[in-house]
Amino acid sequence: MNNKDSQILEIKKIYPNTKDIFKLDATAGNVHDIYVAITQNEDKFICRFSPKNTAIHNLYVSKLLTSYDINAPKVSLHKSAQGYCETYPFIEGKTFYERINEGISKEKQAQIYMQMFNLACEISKIPYDCKARPSVCLTYKISGAFFNHLNLSDFVLCHTDMHSKNVILDNQDNLFAIIDLDAIFPDYIAFPLINLIRDAKTHGCDTTEMTKLCEERYVLPKIIGIETQSKIYSKMKSVIISMLGDKMVKQILKIRVR
């Protein structure tokens, strides 16, 4: 029995009334096997096979965010032969990235980016016990060192991969839900906000308001401005990947350090 067949059997144990199961195409950077299970009642669930540390982290973050009324995947954990299977109800709607490609107006894009900015700030106010959960990915240690030398930025709970592919919109093209719980860790608030501004600029949006708010409230540049920081960080990342190779970087970023 191959790995996929084994995983489908595991899903059928979790949802015995499943009528259809299909695997999602892997996206860039994704290292987990993800399936959609559809039940006889037409309910849809995401099923994702994850290592133990990742699964437990995502369960914790899911409960934390939803306790503060932030719409995020409501994770349940199931032990499997391959570690853990994370499941949560499928969040209906299109990603912001999909709507951008469908031609959503620049004015609406700017509104959504501001909603994402405000959500990132809201997440940063949620208490997170770093001592109780000391495992932090190497990538966040690196980003922390980088931003700590360039600015005065609070170390708080962050969605460190806040961009257009990780938010779901409602039918009125407003921010509805956030996904990718793997990326929610304590970090310097400058990191997600600068990445968000960089994502908005990539899609041709005016980022003047976000940049001003970022510099006024969260980032006090010691040497250079926020836009230059963004360019330097992006360049550093591309250089590291070119030197080590994409696969090697992905393996490094999976390492947990204490």
| Domain coordinates in residue numbering, the chain | 3-89, 96-257
CATH-assigned architecture of domain 3-89: 2-Layer Sandwich (3.30)
Q: What is the pLDDT of residue 223?
A: 53
Pairing type for strands 18-23 and 33-39 reads antiparallel
Q: What is the pLDDT along the chain (258 residues), one digit of tens a residue?
A: 567 888 889 999 999 999 999 988 755 445 578 999 999 999 999 999 988 888 888 999 999 999 999 999 999 999 877 779 999 999 999 999 999 999 999 999 999 999 999 999 999 999 876 555 545 555 555 655 666 666 556 778 889 888 999 999 999 999 999 999 988 988 778 778 888 888 998 899 988 888 888 877 776 655 556 667 666 666 666 665 566 555 554 454 443 332
Query: E strands within 111-171?
Result: 136-137, 151-152, 155-159, 167-169
Sign of CA dihedral 174, 180, 186, 187: negative
Looking at the domain 96-257, which fold is it? Transferase(Phosphotransferase); domain 1 (1.10.510)
29: left (phi over 0), alpha (psi -120 to 50) or beta: left
Query: Could you give the CA distance from residue 101 to residue 15 in angstroms, rounded to a whole number?
Result: 34
Which residue, among 106, 64, 72, 112, has the nearest Cα to 88 in the 3D structure?
A: 72
Which residue, among 131, 54, 109, has the nearest Cα to 86 in the 3D structure?
A: 54
Give me the residue label for tokens 């990342």.
Answer: 237
Give me the residue label for tokens 């369960």.
Answer: 59
